[in-house]
Structure formats: C-alpha cells, structure tokens
Amino acid sequence: MLSLMYFSVVTFLFSSVLMLIASFISKKTISDREKTSPFECGFDPKGTARLPFSLRFFLIALIFLIFDVEITLLLPLPIILSSSNILSWSLTSFVFLSILLLGLFHEWNQGALDWSS
C-alpha cells in the first residue's frame, strides 16, 4: 500500500514537472503584429477576421452529434437479440429509446429545432 502511494506521488510530480517545462518552452516572448494578423493574399483584410458565429447553428450541430452517437449505440441491438434474454433486451431497448425520444421532444418543446425563428 505504501509503495502504491509512493508511485502515485512520483507519477504526479513527474507529470507536473513535464507540464511546467512544456509551458516554459512553448511561451512566445515576441508578439509580432504581422504574425498575429490574418493573411489574405498579401493584402490587409477588408473586415474583421472574427466573424460572429451563429449559436443556433452550433446548437443544431451539437444535437445532431448527440443523436448520431446514440444511433451508433442502437445499431447493434438487433444483433444482440439472438444472444441475450428477450426480457432484458426489450427492457434495455425500451429504456434507451424512451430516453432518446424524451430528449428529442424536450429539444422540440424548447424550440432548439426551429431554425426559422
């Protein structure tokens, strides 16, 4: 037990030292205006490089990503049916699908899926 504690402390110290060394090495000492400005074929940019990003688009993309991952979890369900108990399979499938549908209805009621507003 004592050796596990020593190993944990040594590992923590070693990783902390490595992170400190990496942060000191990666610091830039000189900040050049030309290097930090956006480059457009050698000309000065017409507008700002930081365009506002649509939060609605980000929310739709995030919802798509969440539901896409859940679809990948649903795909093996028919394959598992032959090797598992029908009661446990149906209960698990029902709970998972109901959570998925409740999340979809919640997003729908909150107006997150309404792009036109």
Question: Could you give the angle at which helices 86-110 and 55-74 cross, rounded to 10 degrees?
Answer: 170
Q: pLDDT value at position 53? A: 73
Calculate the dihedral angle through the C-alpha atoms of 33, 34, 38, 43, rounding to the nearest 10 degrees: 130
pLDDT tens per residue across all 117 residues of the chain: 788 899 999 999 999 999 999 888 876 656 666 666 666 666 666 666 666 777 778 888 888 888 888 888 888 888 888 888 999 889 988 998 899 889 889 988 988 777 775
> Which pTM value belongs to this model?
0.49
Neighbours of 36 (CB within 10 A): 8
Task: Give the per-residue pLDDT at 30.
Answer: 63
How far apart CA 48 and CA 37 sit, in angstroms, is 10
Give the SS3 label for residue 34: helix
Going from N- to C-terminal start, the domains of the chain cover 85-112
Give the residue carrying structure tokens 């009621």.
Answer: 109
